[in-house]
Every structure is written in C-alpha cells, then in structure tokens.
Structure 1
Amino acid sequence: MPSISSKGLEMPASPIRKLTPYADKAKQEGKHIYHLNIGQPDIETPQVMLDAIKSISFKVWAYTPSEGTASYRNKLSTYYNELGYGITAQDILVTNGGSEAITIAMQACINPGEEIIIPEPFYANYNGFARSAGIIIKPILSYIDDGFALPPIAAFEELITNKTKAIAICNPNNPTGYLYSRKELEALRELCLKHDLFLLADEAYREFCYDGREFLSPMHLEGLEQHVVVLDTVSKRYSACGARLGCMITKNSALWNTALKFAQARLSPPAVAQIAAEAAVDTPQQYFDAVKAEYTDRRDVLVAGLNRISGVYCPNPGGAFYVVARFPIDNADRFCQWMLEHFAYENQTVMMAPATGFYSTADAGTNEVRLAYVLNTADLKKALVCLEKGLAEYPGRRV
C-alpha cells in the first residue's frame, strides 16, 4: 500500500471541526446541540447580496480574471478608502475566501524553512496553512489573565532570528476577541521597520468592535506601506461564509505581482460571489449598527453567564464574536468530547472548540475553551445552563 506524505500526516486537525462525528452521533440520538464551536453566524445575509444573485442574467458562467473582476475591485476599493486605507483597485487581489488570501500571502512573503511570529492563541488554520507552505510558526504566548493583550515587544525581539520574515496578527482576534490598541500596533510598526519584516493583518472581524472602542489597521500607520498585507473576507462582515470570497491588499507592487502568480495558478475567484459582494458594498450602515448591537448583547450574556459559573473565568472581549474561557477541567479536548458523547440536560448539550488547537506551544490551553456567540441570546442562556450542569457532572472537573 502506498504511504501517505509526511506533510499530510503532520497536518493538524481542526479544533473547530474535529468533534463533528461526536456531534453527528449525538444528533442521531435525538439530542439538541447548541453550536458554539464555529463562527457561523445566524445573522441574516444583507438582502442586497441575495437580490444581486437572483438578478444574474449571464449566458455563460465564465472564468473571471485571476486578480478579480475590475468592477468588484473598483467597488471594493471605495469601501476601504472610506475607512482611510488610501488604496487603489490595483492594490487588491481577490481570493477564494480569506483562507486563500492567507495562504497566498504566506507563500509570497515567506520561503519554506523561514519563520513567522504569531501571538497565540491564534486562528487554528494558521497552523495548517503554514505547514502546507513549509513555513515555521514561532508562537508567542498571550495570557488569559490580562485578556490576551499583545505580548511585550521584548518577547518578540527574543524570537527574531535571521530566518524571521514576518509577524501576523488577527485584529479583532480570533479566537480571543481581543482588540489591539493604537499603542500596541505602533509598537509592532517600529519592530517591523527595525527588522524589515512583513506585517500580515487578518481583519476578518473589522466591523465587530464594541463599547465604542477604536479599530485601527496597520494600513493607517505611516511608514509601513511596503510591509503591511491586509487579509480580509466577506464571510463575517456580511454573514456570507458560504460565498468563499476574500482578498489580499498590499501597496507593495512587487509583492502584489508575486501573489498574482499564485492566483493565476489556481485560475480565478468565484464569479457569482463577486457579483454578490460588489452589491454588498452598498449595504446600509443601519445593517451593521443592528448587527453590532446584537453581538454586543450576545457577548454580554455569554461573558456574564460564564463568569457566574463556579471556577470559570472569561475576559470581556473588545471585538469579533468569540471568547476564550478558562474552565476548572483536566483537559479541554476530553471535556468538549464528553459534553457531546456522555452528557445531556433536558436532551440538550453544547458543542465547543477546545482551545488547545489554537496554540502551537505544547500543553498550552489545556483548560481553555473557545465559544462563539453566534446564537441568539435565548439560546445562549440555554447553552449556559447546559454548560453549568455539564461541568458539575464532568468526571475530570478540578476544584
């Protein structure tokens, strides 16, 4: 029998999806599951996107340009320039989801065997993307007790070697919801300029900042024009995860031209999604105001509810729609699986993502869980009851 590739064997399983077989079995047993494991919002997609799809009248479903259609890139540039990014359509490369934006950026910026520094916990798929490209992630720990703030710049300095090529951040952060401050981003700017590093900024949750807090992109900082690579997606902004449409933005023309070669190798981004996303740029502000208010309510319900459970600690995030909470448990992977396999309260249970998969450091996050507040507040309250009951019965609970 032929052997599987070493790269394939080394690819990490998704902490977000790896428990799906247990959830499927629980559903077959008749249990209702509250899905807090994945960032799939129940918020309705803007009607303008859906109407654009219904109005399609082309006769041939053809390839689009590898960099994305001119009409979409032009329209998209207006969205970013309203945010003060100061870009042109020629700075945008349209991708098959935010995931492809990340993979293309990594491969265009970093050679196999070179290193990228990422504060952890971080989006779990960064591990897989880097592994696929032969890139080494150098994780730098952030801590729940200070809300997962950016680690000290001195800690970054200690990790930088002649193989270090880039730093990556997700802001607001997935999985923690942490929103980086101006001071933190300016410190990263000085670090990248000092060591001539790329700064990859995953901004999938840009629209979701709470309590009047400021969102700042590295694109807003002078001096980083040749260093910043913004990675984005329509998935979260418009609750359109199935569109699989994202983009990479850079003012570095050499980098953009290099990224285009990777885009040409995969042919083109999806035609229908670009039509819908072009229309979505005209989504009225009241849509986002209502969504932000809804997520704020959900966050408040979940964070307060978690902190009321004995032994649980959850910091209050400034953005995105996730929290990472610390539980009094022996092992997050066991606990999350046990909740699906062995527990039900009134025939209900909760699916979560063990935080271990959001770390690269061995044994980090073993008592932490990521929860996504993508359900309505009534369901979140029911999920919290299940969690408290389950934690009380869990054999691996620690006092």
Structure 2
Amino acid sequence: MPSVSNKGLSMPQSPIRKLVPFAENAKKKGVKVIHLNIGQPDIKTPQQALDAVKNNNINVLEYSRTEGSEEFRNKIAGYYIKNNINVSASEIIVTTGGSEALAFAMNTIADSNDEIIIPEPFYANYNGFATACGVKVVPVVSKLEDNFALPPIEDFEKLITPRTKAILICNPGNPTGYLYSKEEIQKLAALVKKHNIFLVADEVYREFTYDNKVHASILKEEGLDEHAIIIDSVSKRYSMCGARIGYLVSKNKEFIATALKFAQARLSPPTYAQIASEAALDTPDSYFAEVKTEYVARRNLLIAELGKIKGIKIARPQGAFYCIAELPIEDADHFAQWLLEDFRVDNETVMVAPAAGFYATEGLGKNQIRIAYVLDQASLKRAVRIIGEALKSYKG
C-alpha cells in the first residue's frame, strides 16, 4: 500500500474542527449544540456586499488578476489611508482568505527548517501553515495570569538563531483577545531591526478593540518598511467568513514580488468574493460602532458569568471576540468531547475548542478552552450555565 508523506502525518488536527463529528452526532439525536468553538459571527453581513454579488451583470466569470483586481486593491489602500497608514495598491496582494496570506508569507520569507518565533497561545492554524511550509515554530510562552501580555523582549531575543526569519504576532489576539500596546509593538520593531528579520502581524481583528484602547499597527512604526508584513482579511471585519478574501500588505518590494510568484501558482482569488469585499469596504463607520458595542456587552456578560463558576480562571479580552478560560479539570479535550457525547441540560449542550491545540509547547493549555463570544447574549448565558452544570457532574 502506498504511504502518505511524513509532512501529512505530522499535520496537526484543528482543535476548532476536530470535534465536529461528535457535534453532528449530537444534532442527529435532536440535541441543540451551542457553538462557542468557532469564530463565526452571527452579526449580519453588510447588505451592500450581498447586493453587489446579486446585482452584478457578469456574463463570463473570468479569472481576476493574480494580485486581485486593481479596483479592489485601490479600495483596500483607501481603507488603510483612512486609518493613517499610507500604502498603495502595488503593495497589496489579495488572497483566498487570511489563511492563504499566511501561507504565502511563510513560504516567501522562510526555507525548510527555518524558524519563526510566535507568542503562544496562538491561532491554531499557524502550526498547520508552518508544517505545510516546512517551517519550525519556536514558541514564547505568554501567561494567563498576565492576561497573555507580550512576554519580556529578552525571552524573544534569546531564541533568535541564524535560522530565525521572523516574529509573528496576532493583534488583537486569537485565541486570547489580548491587544498589544504601542510600547510592546515598538519593542518588537526594535528587535527585528536589530537582528534583520521580519515582523509579521496578523491584524484581521484590528477593528475590534475595546475599553477605549487603540490598535497599534506595525505599518505605523518608523523605519520598519522593509521588515513589516501585514496579514489582513474581510472575513471577521464584515461578518463574511464564507467570502474567503484576505490580503498581504508590505512596503518591502522584494517580499511582494516574491509572494506574487506563489500567488501566480494558484492563478487568482475568487471574482465574486472580491466583488462582495470591495462593496463591503463602503460600509459606514457606524456599522463598527454598533458591532463593537455588542461585542463589549457579550464580553462583559461572558466574563461575569464565567466568574461565578468555582475554579475557573479567565483572561480578560481587550479585542477580537475570543476568551481563554482555565477549567478545574485535567484534560479539556476529553471534557469537550464528553460535553457533546454525554451531557445535556434541557436537551442542549455546548461545543468549545480545547486550548492545547493553540500551543506549540507540549503539555501547555491542557486544562484550558477557547470560547468565541460570537453568539447573542441569551445564548452565551445559557452556554455558560451548561458549562457550570457540566463541571459539577464531570468525573474526568
């Protein structure tokens, strides 16, 4: 029998999706599953994005340009300029989701067995992208008791080797919701310049910052043009995850020219999704004001309700719409599966994402879960009640 690749065998399962079969089995039995496991917002997609696809007059659905249509990239550049970040269409490559942007970035800056330093916990698919690209993830541990703030810069520096190509951050963070301060970004900027490596920032949640805090983009840092690479996306910003449109942004001309070759190999991003995404960029600022208000209310309710459960420790998110909670158990993977297979309250149960998959260091996060607070407040309150009742019954 032919064998699959070692790379394929070493690809990690998604901690967000691996429990889907258990959720589907529960649903087939008539159980209502409340999904806290995935960042799929229930906020309505802007109508102008849906109408742009519905009302187009395309007769032949052609390839777009490899880097995305010029009209769309100009629109993206305009969005950044409005946010006091001066970029041009030539410094943008449209991708099939932020996921493809990350894969292009890793392939462009790193060869096999090169290293990228990432504060953990981090978006679980970073492990998958790194494995697919043959890149080694070198983790720096951030701690729940510090609210997952940036680890000391000395912790980064002592991990830098001749194989280190970049530091990668997510700001605001998935899965932690932590928002890096201007001072923390400046420390990272100084470090990457000192060691002549890249700073890659996944900024897909940049619109979702709370408590009057301001997002600090790496593209605003002076003298960082050759080092800075932005990963961005319309998915979460406009509640249109199914569009699968993201983009790379960098002022480093060699990086953009090289990444474009990887983009050419997959031909082009999807045309209809670009049409919808271009229209979404006309969404008024009032949309984000209303959405942020709702997410703040959801976060506050979630933190308050979780705080009532004995033994739970919680990190307070400052952005995005995720929260890491530490449970009074040993194995969150087992607990999450048990919730779906064996536990019910009024014929309802909850699906969570075990947090171990958001770490690269073996053994970390085993008793933690990630919660996505993307549901209405009533659903969140019911979900936390179910988790609380489950912890009383769970035997481990």
TM-score bucket (shorter structure) = over 0.9
User: Match for residue 100 of structure 2?
Assistant: 100
TM-fit CA distance, 1:316 = 1.2
Superposed counterparts of 1:259-278, under 5 Å: 259-278=259-278
- Cα deviation code 1:193-252 (max 9, x no counterpart): 000010110011001000110111000110100100000111000000000000000000
SS at match of 1:308: coil
Superposed counterparts of 1:286-325, under 5 Å: 286-325=286-325
| Separation of aligned partners in 2, 1:271 and 1:348 | 40
- Cα deviation code 1:321-359 (max 9, x no counterpart): 000001000101011111111100111110000000000
| Separation of aligned partners in 1, 2:353 and 2:379 | 18
| Separation of aligned partners in 1, 2:288 and 2:315 | 24
SS at match of 1:386: helix
| Separation of aligned partners in 2, 1:288 and 1:324 | 24
- Cα deviation code 1:88-111 (max 9, x no counterpart): 010000000000000001100111
- Cα deviation code 1:269-295 (max 9, x no counterpart): 010111111111110111111100010
User: Match for residue 81 of structure 2?
Assistant: 81
User: Match for residue 367 of structure 1?
Assistant: 367
User: Match for residue 16 of structure 2?
Assistant: 16
User: Match for residue 238 of structure 2?
Assistant: 238
TM-fit CA distance, 1:75 = 1.0
| Separation of aligned partners in 1, 2:316 and 2:208 | 14
Superposed counterparts of 1:316-395, under 5 Å: 316-395=316-395
User: Match for residue 174 of structure 1?
Assistant: 174
Number of residue-to-residue matches in the alignment: 396
Alignment of 1:114 onto 2:114:
yes
TM-fit CA distance, 1:54 = 1.1
| TM-score when normalising by structure 1 | 0.99
CA RMSD of aligned residues (A): 0.6
- Cα deviation code 1:304-327 (max 9, x no counterpart): 111110000112110000000010
User: Match for residue 186 of structure 1?
Assistant: 186
| Separation of aligned partners in 2, 1:160 and 1:340 | 42
TM-fit CA distance, 1:157 = 1.0
TM-fit CA distance, 1:84 = 1.3
SS at match of 2:362: coil
| Separation of aligned partners in 2, 1:70 and 1:193 | 32
User: Match for residue 205 of structure 1?
Assistant: 205
TM-fit CA distance, 1:156 = 0.5
More off after superposition, 259-268 vs 301-310? 301-310
| Separation of aligned partners in 2, 1:90 and 1:132 | 28
| Separation of aligned partners in 2, 1:315 and 1:366 | 16
TM-fit CA distance, 1:125 = 0.2
User: Match for residue 126 of structure 1?
Assistant: 126
4+ aligned runs moved over 3 Å, structure 1:
none
| Separation of aligned partners in 2, 1:340 and 1:166 | 39
User: Match for residue 163 of structure 2?
Assistant: 163
TM-fit CA distance, 1:4 = 1.2
User: Match for residue 6 of structure 1?
Assistant: 6
| Separation of aligned partners in 2, 1:262 and 1:282 | 29
Superposed counterparts of 1:61-76, under 5 Å: 61-76=61-76
Letter in 1 for 2:341: E
SS at match of 1:349: strand
Letter in 1 for 2:33: I
| Separation of aligned partners in 1, 2:164 and 2:313 | 35
TM-fit CA distance, 1:112 = 1.1
SS at match of 2:235: helix
User: Match for residue 38 of structure 1?
Assistant: 38
| Separation of aligned partners in 1, 2:364 and 2:80 | 36
| Separation of aligned partners in 1, 2:385 and 2:254 | 54
- Cα deviation code 1:125-160 (max 9, x no counterpart): 000000000000001100000100000001001111
Letter in 2 for 1:220: K
User: Match for residue 142 of structure 1?
Assistant: 142
User: Match for residue 151 of structure 1?
Assistant: 151
SS at match of 1:325: strand
| TM-score when normalising by structure 2 | 0.99
SS at match of 1:293: helix
| Separation of aligned partners in 2, 1:330 and 1:255 | 44
Letter in 2 for 1:314: I
SS at match of 1:237: coil
| Separation of aligned partners in 2, 1:85 and 1:100 | 23
| Separation of aligned partners in 1, 2:20 and 2:184 | 37
- Cα deviation code 1:54-110 (max 9, x no counterpart): 111111000000000011011110001111111001000000000000000110011
The percentage of aligned residue pairs carrying the same residue is: 54
| Separation of aligned partners in 2, 1:317 and 1:40 | 17
